[in-house]
Chain A
């Protein structure tokens, strides 16, 4: 369960203070798949970063399960993220100088899970995303859709309880986006992982359990 209580966040831009979130509250259930939609600049990615512990609110609390993220120091927040959260970015953000397999192993290495089971799981995931034959390739040898499939596999390989996805299909063509979304459905549809997904596309949003309009009505 994710409990967001009275979240505020503002940024300084060109000497001006711009409020992005102002007293925002929301509750997301375990295993729920939530789509965050809204116009640009409304604070979707900011909210995602706050939930991921990559940023701190100016005010308010963020609880994930029993953990109050806002009460943790930087190190503990990072360790929490390491073990409990997976990230998928719009621009894939694979490490360009690591191979596909090495990118996939990264979260396992960080969590100490790169043992025989971990490797088997990584290999299994590679097969499930249909890229088992590209394990030794570097990311730039892959198409955008393929890179995003690897990014999704990387985000889930260490079995996080929460997956945060920031416009995962934002740079992909419709057909490729569909493949990626199907994969996301397949890997997170069993209710084991809570998903918060930021998107501009209502088609993508409708695939989630619930849609939250930031700066507007809720569907």
Chain B
């Protein structure tokens, strides 16, 4: 075992080295752990949301192959009866579906699933089980009879026999719990969370859809598809159930991909940290390695031992990261769900599902990244000649020789990254690859820039700070192998902080500007939780004195080729037509076509996702069958990422028999006090359906509040990136200071006071922090531009203006400096407490 001895010795020495440098080891482990934790947490949160969506879809569609989906008016109940009775299409299950709220809980919606339990058995076995639980007479006889998961009942502190109140369409409704459902399969239980199962008639009454169904779920053979298609009622369409669900879930893909990319960024910063730690641990043991080489350890053995050490650090850090990630995911899953609810569709994710594949992915990524980051230091270790210690200045001069190559590689990568960002018209893979190439390229440019700037600064700092000033600049340039990596890691993290900060701020500014341009009415009236306003209430409202004009809106979903499109119908008098911001199309001719020719406007996200432009036609399933509508304009709109089709009321009335109105915008007559008008409106509608009244200012504030909630997850990831960066720079600069302990002791022996030494260490760190922060500004702005102009535009279809708040830049630079200063505190304190004699002896 001749070869085994040196390896085990080196391993032992390696372990002792790490144990004797607990700060360094701890920070390296923390860096790996946080990097892995962020990736795993985002992955788990995304997986949990997807799983909840998929289970909910499975439970709610069951074995359904096809769905007949109604338009705004729904499907006449009689059609379903004919389908079943006259055409023998079975299994077929009618569904009335909608959302209700619990009073006092605005954030939680419960899904009402109105079904015919006898028709459910062949379609949704889990729901069909209700027929075995509840007396059919009860379900049919009691108008408010509801069945929920037993687990949900416990959550709501309800028991069979209890009554509870829900609100829908501005009215409160009393429901009575008939039974608690306990599905045999646990997955079905997850899928039916937050679902109230009712008889179809009771649900129709609750949701105001008497005589109509929202859809009919079918299990069809291929032959039956054509039969049903031929029988479709006006405004309805036949869709494949899987495709419909997939189209819905696809909407969140870009959002989830964005989160994953951000989490990978944290890991990239973590990789810099690992590289740095491993380089230090190798360089500091170069004497031992030289000795081991002299005593017969081969290059390969040394290489493997270093990689093994990295793998162990990676493994321990990753394990910690997995635990931290699971904890973090419980917070993130809530934020992800909230964003999906705000931007896309109602989703209930009550618990985190810890998918083993997410953990395995996190582990491979953590350990893999650590080992890859250790390759260069391991190669460096093998380059140490036998019996010769590779000196620091030799090493530093070697690094200086790298600078031209590093600069070239950095420029090439940055150029490649910029090219990739603009290389494709659609898709996110190339832009994300470009973004990462840009970041890595910029990181490569940091050491050359740091060297150049500190060289230029030496006389300036010398003039300002004398010996310490000169030593500050020289020290940074002279330790480029250390300061370069620390500065690069810090620069990358700070640029991410700037990029994401500027992106969110730009978006917020654009959104706020858009709200200002859009919200022109004085008072907006709508039904709490959405839904149609009762005609009597509408009449009372519009009859109130002091109103100059009103706008009326209706929001529905209609079939459009392979998807359900949001259709926003507006009745806007010409005097109020300035509330739209045109992205494409001539406003004057567009308005004319909209009013007179039945043309539609598209919101920007809709046009982007469906690849439509002005002059194209949109095919919608109307009450008179499919019709095509010319696109007259594309509008800026930040309401939903899904996008919408905007249609004039007159056009809508021509094709759909749906006189309902969801909200009204009230413009006060000249000289009328809006506060008083609001009171009169509230008094006029005090009886009957509840309505909510909001001024444009309140609506603006509420919208911005929701915006901020939606971006909470981005801010959380931003903070995590900061945490990784701070850990990274702490680790790198701390290790540098500790490595230079002997040098500092010599300075102390030559008469440098502890205070001067503290100033020197701090000044060097401040210089690294400040320069990293300043280098981060151009990259951060580049990232912000890429995120705004390419990534977000392609992910969500929103175009926004780049708005740079200098405060964000100042904060980021201050963060870099603060992290660097913090890194100098411990070494300065340690040197101040240690006598130089002792320090020289110890080293």
CB neighbors of B among A109-139 (8 A)? 109-112, 114, 138-139
Chain B: CB-nearest residue to A74 = B754
> How far, in Å, is A43 (CB) from chain B's closest CB?
12
A75 touches B394 (CB 8 A): no
Interface residues of B (CB under 8 A from A): 391-394, 396-397, 466-467, 470, 474-475, 478-479, 742-743, 746-755, 835-838, 840-841
Does A145 reach chain B (CB closer than 8 Å)? Answer: no
Residue from the list B474, B742, B751 in contact with A82, Cβ < 8 A: B751
B753 touches A78 (CB 8 A): yes
Complexed CA–CA distance, A78 and B742 (Å) = 17
CB contacts (< 8 Å) of B392 on chain A: these are 96-97, 140
Contact with B along A137-148 (1 / 0, CB 8 A): 011110000000
Additional A-B contacts beyond A75-B753, A112-B466 (15; CB < 8 A) = A49-B835, A49-B836, A52-B837, A74-B753, A78-B752, A81-B751, A89-B746, A89-B840, A95-B743, A95-B746, A95-B747, A96-B391, A97-B478, A106-B750, A110-B467
Complexed CA–CA distance, A124 and B827 (Å) = 37
B835 touches A81 (CB 8 A): no
Does A79 reach chain B (CB closer than 8 Å)? Answer: yes
Does A55 reach chain B (CB closer than 8 Å)? Answer: yes
Which applies to chain A's interface (DSSP): helix, strand, loop or mixed? helix
Known A-B contacts A74-B754, A75-B755; A45 and B841 likewise in contact (beta carbons under 8 Å) = yes
Complexed CA–CA distance, A141 and B479 (Å) = 17
A83 touches B751 (CB 8 A): yes
Contact with B along A146-162 (1 / 0, CB 8 A): 00000000100000000
Does A56 reach chain B (CB closer than 8 Å)? Answer: yes
Q: Lowest 6 CB-CB distances: which A-B pairs, in order? A: A82-B751, A97-B478, A49-B837, A109-B467, A54-B837, A140-B391
Count A/B pairs, Cβ under 8 Å.
89
> How far, in Å, is A141 (CB) from chain B's closest CB?
8
B837 touches A138 (CB 8 A): no
Sampled A-B contacts (27; CB under 8 Å) = A46-B837, A54-B836, A54-B840, A55-B838, A78-B751, A81-B749, A81-B751, A82-B752, A83-B751, A85-B751, A87-B749, A87-B750, A89-B840, A95-B746, A95-B747, A96-B391, A97-B392, A97-B396, A97-B475, A97-B478, A98-B474, A106-B747, A107-B751, A110-B467, A110-B750, A111-B751, A141-B393
CB contacts (< 8 Å) of B475 on chain A: these are 97
Residue from the list B396, B470, B742, B835 in contact with A55, Cβ < 8 A: B835
Which applies to chain B's interface (DSSP): helix, strand, loop or mixed? helix
CB contacts (< 8 Å) of A109 on chain B: these are 466-467, 470
B837 touches A79 (CB 8 A): no
Does A93 reach chain B (CB closer than 8 Å)? Answer: yes
Chain B: CB-nearest residue to A160 = B751
Which of A96, A102, A141 counts the most chain B CB atoms within 10 A?
Answer: A96
Chain A: CB-nearest residue to B839 = A54
> How far, in Å, is A89 (CB) from chain B's closest CB?
7
CB contacts (< 8 Å) of B751 on chain A: these are 78-79, 81-83, 85, 107, 110-111
A96 touches B753 (CB 8 A): no
Known A-B contacts A49-B835, A49-B837, A55-B838; A96 and B750 likewise in contact (beta carbons under 8 Å) = no
Complexed CA–CA distance, A55 and B835 (Å) = 6
Residue from the list B742, B743, B748 in contact with A54, Cβ < 8 A: B748
Complexed CA–CA distance, A186 and B526 (Å) = 100
CB contacts (< 8 Å) of A82 on chain B: these are 750-752
Chain A: CB-nearest residue to B394 = A140
Complexed CA–CA distance, A95 and B475 (Å) = 10
CB contacts (< 8 Å) of B397 on chain A: these are 138
